[in-house]
Amino acid sequence: MAETWIDLLRLLDGALRLATPLILCAMAGLVSERSGVINIALEGKLLTGAFTAAAAVTLTGSVAVGLAAAVCAATMLSMVHGFACITHRGEQIISGVAINIVAAGLTVVAGNALFRQGGHTPPLASDDRFPALTLPFAETLAAVPVLGPFWGELVSGHTLPVYLALASVPVVWWLIYRSRFGLRLRAAGELPEAVESAGVSVTVLRYRGLLIAGVLCGVAGAYLSTGHGGGFVRDMSAGKGFLALAALIFGRWKPWPVLFACLLFGVLDAAAPRLHGLEVPLLGTVPVALVSVLPYGLTVVLLAGFFGRAEAPGALGRPPGRTG
Amino acid sequence: MTPLPRWIDIGLLPAINLLLALVTAGIVVVLIGENPFRVLRVLISGAFSAETLGYTLYYATNMLFTGLAAAVAFQARLFSIGAEGQATLGGLGVGLTCLLLDPTLPPVLVVAIACLAAPVFGAAWVLVPGVLQAWRGSHVVITTIMFNFLASGLMVWLLSGPLKEPGRGSPQTRRFAEDAALPYLHDLLGSIGIARSPLNVSIVIALLAAAGVWVLVWRTRFGYALRALGHSREAARYAGIPIRRMIVVTLLISGALAGGMALNEILGVQHKLILNFSAGYGFTGIAVALMGRNHPAGICAASLLFGALFQGGAELNFEFETITTDLVLVIQGLIILFSGALAGMFTPWMTRLVLARAVRDG
């Protein structure tokens, strides 16, 4: 019994680590999409954040500088996105695709120019990465059955960005549903004309949405290369930005359901290697390649409206004053 | 807003946007500490010598297919970005055809069936996103992204399991039968002395497809309805155009064109099914379509430009220590940014200029 409990906790612990970049990116997507800006550029911002953090840590030896640099870089990309699709009313999807491709190329080009290791950054020593934080009572509670392992194995012992990701959910919830800014932000995403006629600038609101998104993606990127991993390798975001987008839709653009979706995808991801070669009655061996794309399949099923309806913000992708 | 003269709209503005993309990439090169003009010279000489022109055209063939695929969807204002997945499935169509039929049927027949299977499989992969967009309003952008990942998962599974060549470690199928392939142009036209390259007959198929798209979009009733859909969905509805059917059929055509890419890559060059052969060409197709203003003639020109960038980019690895072929990816992204998302940046400014001149000239 205790064995199973520990095993389950270890699985969830891995899931939480894998879900962290998803949670941060999904919250980033939530804030910008609630303001009416489609954010398929999450992937590119995450990748850029990861590269910038690893490069900055390699050059300065400080994770804090790495985190700050990642936040700045991802925010800059967010502002480019805004410049194209808010200021110049360009197609948001095209702008997102452009940012993703520029990020994929520029991270490798810059990596090569700086370190000459085929686009990678030099591997980081464990001293140069986010340290694991031991929460209070982790040791005192260790002897307590059930709760002790729960606190020690699952809740305690993560790096700072993991806790930041978990904290971002209530903060985003409060921001979106309880603040004046959030009310206006949601209105900008549902009916921008109404916001304009109330004398509030949709442009400013949407830029602020993208600003928050950039910061969150930067944290996610820093976690990827200097927390979860030790250094940057090309394309290290590996579709996580798109997976976060799927989680955002899966959670219907609401903070708590989105968190649940991210954790679910994290569990699937953590469980996939354990399923390798596992025999299931009727199905035979579990094809692990198919388990790893299950989140995408589930999201399509959800979009098809088979269980509930995924309603996007009404004016998602639409500049104010344009119909259709 | 007064429409701009045609030469400005389809000539000058795209040229300015391309120039901006190149200048920005040039700044990156300067920051790295290299001479951007030397990079440009390597790119051009690497792409257009007698030995390398075939490679340039071979890359351009892939981009013709995916560029046309993107353009057809864009004309109807459907931002399908699923060409990666559709091309992958096109490859599966070619692969299954060859693996199942090449032991029994004559090679010519196998190739003919594979040429049909690629577009059919490509189209099939966009059927679900298309139907969901048309009937449930699920955003085709999102569903096609999801289907790209599903396609790659499907291929990883098939090529590491059911379709894998027995006794081989890497995820790929066995080679197709010797003659079950599209002939290389250097084999066909060897007598006039063209250099060896992967360039094959699929470039002819791609050019025919470009002509076909032009006829379809600009010379048929269907094409009229498609463009109407792109201009205003409401107006199209009032004109009695069956919106839902149009969305699905348009996406199917787009998917079929994307699937065509597998003819070049799998039936023309690889002669076996491998992982990730779509290699980002689906996204390059978006850049090609935007550069070519969604018009087949423009897309032919843009494919040639991007084909040259890819081939010339390969030479960068040999010529420079600090600059690699990845620079091409940056240029590609910047072109999408400037000629796609920021395409309208200079329009108001240019319109003012033209109006001011018109006023002055009376």
The residue extents of the domains of chain A are 2-303
Nearest CA in chain B to A286: B157
Half-sphere exposure of B20 (CA within 13 A, CB side): 19
Give residue B320's pLDDT: 85
Distance of alpha carbon A212 from alpha carbon A219, whole angstroms: 11
pLDDT in tens, B267-288: 999 999 999 999 899 999 998 9
> Tokens at residue A58, please?
């390699």
What is the mean predicted confidence (pLDDT) over B38-66?
Answer: 92
Residue B360's identity, in one-letter code, is: R
- Whether B307 and B47 have beta carbons less than 8 Å apart is answered as yes
Q: Chain B 209-248, CB below 8 Å of chain A: which residues?
A: 232-234
**Long-range pairs for B204-212 at CB < 8 Å and ≥24 separation?**
B205/B115, B205/B260, B205/B263, B206/B61, B206/B64, B206/B65, B206/B68, B206/B260, B206/B264, B207/B64, B207/B300, B209/B64, B209/B65, B209/B68, B209/B257, B209/B260, B210/B64, B210/B68, B210/B296, B210/B299, B210/B300, B211/B296
Question: Between the CA atoms of B195, B196, B201 and B207, what dihedral angle is there, to the nearest 10 degrees?
Answer: -50
What is the mean predicted confidence (pLDDT) over B343-354?
Answer: 82
Best interface-test mutation with B: which of A43, A85, A94, A233 has the largest number of B CBs within 10 A? A94
pLDDT in tens, B202-215: 999 999 999 999 99
Bridge partners (DSSP) listed for residue A127: none
How does DSSP classify residue B132?
I
Give residue B15's pLDDT: 85
Give the torsion sign (CA, A71, A77, A80, A82).
negative
**What residue segments make up the domains of chain B, in order of their start?**
69-278
Residue A311 vs residue B40, higher pLDDT? B40
Distance of alpha carbon B329 from alpha carbon B25, whole angstroms: 10
The 10 Å CB-count burial string (b at 16+, else e) for B153-184 is: bbbbbbbbeebbbeeeeebbbbbbbeebbbeb
> Above 50 in pLDDT, residue A279?
yes
* Residues of chain A positioned with their CB less than 8 A from the CB of B145: 40, 242, 245
Nearest CA in chain B to A82: B341
Cβ-defined contact of A97 to B336 (cutoff 8 Å):
yes
Distance of alpha carbon B133 from alpha carbon B75, whole angstroms: 16
> Above 70 in pLDDT, residue A309?
no
What is the mean predicted confidence (pLDDT) over B119-128?
Answer: 96
pTM of the model: 0.91
The bridge status of strand A132-133 relative to strand A279-280 is: unpaired
How does DSSP classify residue A75?
H
- Of the pLDDT bands very low, low, confident and very high (cuts 50, 70, 90), residue A5 is confident
- Whether A46 and A25 have beta carbons less than 8 Å apart is answered as yes
> Tokens at residue A282, please?
């009727």
The class (CATH top level) of A2-303 is mainly alpha
The 10 Å CB-count burial string (b at 16+, else e) for A80-116 is: bbbbbbbebbbbbbbbbbbbbbbbbbbbbbbbbbbbe
- Of the pLDDT bands very low, low, confident and very high (cuts 50, 70, 90), residue B142 is confident
- Whether B272 and B174 have beta carbons less than 8 Å apart is answered as yes
Interface residue B36 vs chain A (CB under 8 A): no
* Residues of chain B positioned with their CB less than 8 A from the CB of A79: none
Return the H-helix or E-strand segment holding A288: helix A288-292
Counting one residue from chain A and one from chain B, the pairs whose CB atoms sit within 8 A come to: 157
Q: Residue holding tokens 């806790």?
A: A163
> Tokens at residue A135, please?
């929460």
ipTM of the complex: 0.90
Residue B230 vs residue B194, higher pLDDT? B230
Best interface-test mutation with A: which of B132, B146, B347 has the largest number of A CBs within 10 A? B146
Residue A119's region, left for phi above 0, alpha for psi from -120 to 50, else beta, is left
Nearest CA in chain A to B79: A93
Give residue B83's pLDDT: 95
- Of the pLDDT bands very low, low, confident and very high (cuts 50, 70, 90), residue B2 is low
- Of the pLDDT bands very low, low, confident and very high (cuts 50, 70, 90), residue A174 is very high
Contacts of A268 (CB under 8 A, 6+ apart): A291, A292, A294, A295
Cβ-defined contact of B322 to A112 (cutoff 8 Å):
yes
Identify the weakest region by mean pLDDT among A139-143, A241-245, B131-135.
A139-143
Cβ-defined contact of B326 to A99 (cutoff 8 Å):
no
> Above 50 in pLDDT, residue A186?
yes
> Above 50 in pLDDT, residue A324?
no
Q: Percentage of residues in chain A with pLDDT exceeding 70? A: 94
Return the H-helix or E-strand segment holding A280: strand A279-280
Give residue A1's pLDDT: 66
Minimal C-alpha gap between B157 and chain A (Å): 5
Cβ-defined contact of A93 to B79 (cutoff 8 Å):
yes
What is the mean predicted confidence (pLDDT) over A170-177?
Answer: 96
> Above 60 in pLDDT, residue B98?
yes
Cα B89 off chain centre by: 15
* Residues of chain A positioned with their CB less than 8 A from the CB of B153: 289-290, 292-293, 296
* Residues of chain A positioned with their CB less than 8 A from the CB of B324: 108-109, 112, 119
Bridge partners (DSSP) listed for residue A285: A279
Give residue B362's pLDDT: 66
